[in-house]
Structure 1
Amino acid sequence: MYPIAKGNFDFRSRPYLDTASYGLPPHSTVAAVAEALEACPLGSARWSKDWDPAGDRCRPLAAQLLGAAPDEIALIPAVSVGVGVALSMLSPGDEVLISEHEFTSMLFPLLVAEKRFDIKVRTVPFDELAAQVRSSTALV
């Protein structure tokens, strides 16, 4: 285990394998959430003043991690919002390739978009995603 992980996470001597959900939060995240939750019922939460600057500080770090420019990093409040943004950029006839066990937060908006906007949603086994990309595939 990396030393940084050992000091920032509370594994309690157990393996943690549920990374498809929220993931195991580092101590700094637990402290920040506790602080936000404490302010919420008191009416003293200052979401835009406290949270927006944190996002602005994270944007260049995420860009560096992903090999992108900071202005290419979008901070989206939820998966469903991000899916809507991505789907709004598709054109009729575009194909979206998904795995057979796609998360519902992605699957349901895709199925609606398939009917409303004449896109094609094609489902394949996860292990075949890369091999199944075609010239008509606009999104995986």
Structure 2
Amino acid sequence: MEDTSFTESQDRPATAPPPREAWRRKMRDDVLDAARAMAAERGWDSVSLSQVASRAEVSRPTVYKEFGSRGGLSQALDVGVVRVGSDAITVTAGGLDGGEKESVDTAVRQGTERLKDVLAGRTPPASPTA
């Protein structure tokens, strides 16, 4: 006869995060989406954490607890932009042959690290070349 009993770990798929972690991820995404939209609408300098919290429907202390400061939220937005750009280039490079793909992968990795340093204020931005 087949055993139809369930243990607690069988009730929920192994990949599902605990409810608190799922809420935190959703809250973080909601805050980042709100901040991104508000910055696009009126510029980052005109956006306050209170306004972001209100639009994301969370409290201001929740935003501070998650990001630490306005600068921390700004860095999280910057990292998201870097990730999206890097992913887009990686997908585009997928059709290249081995040597070309390796060159693109190296350039993306080095460019991503440089951009992180610039965003963190550790390196001055490069001047555009003509």
> What range is the shorter-chain TM-score in?
under 0.3
Could you say which structure has the greater relative contact order, defined with CA pairs below 8 angstroms and 6 or more residues apart?
1
TM, length-normalised to structure 2: 0.25
**Structure richer in strand, relative to its length:** 1
TM, length-normalised to structure 1: 0.24
Q: Which has the larger radius of gyration?
A: 2
**Structure richer in helix, relative to its length:** 2
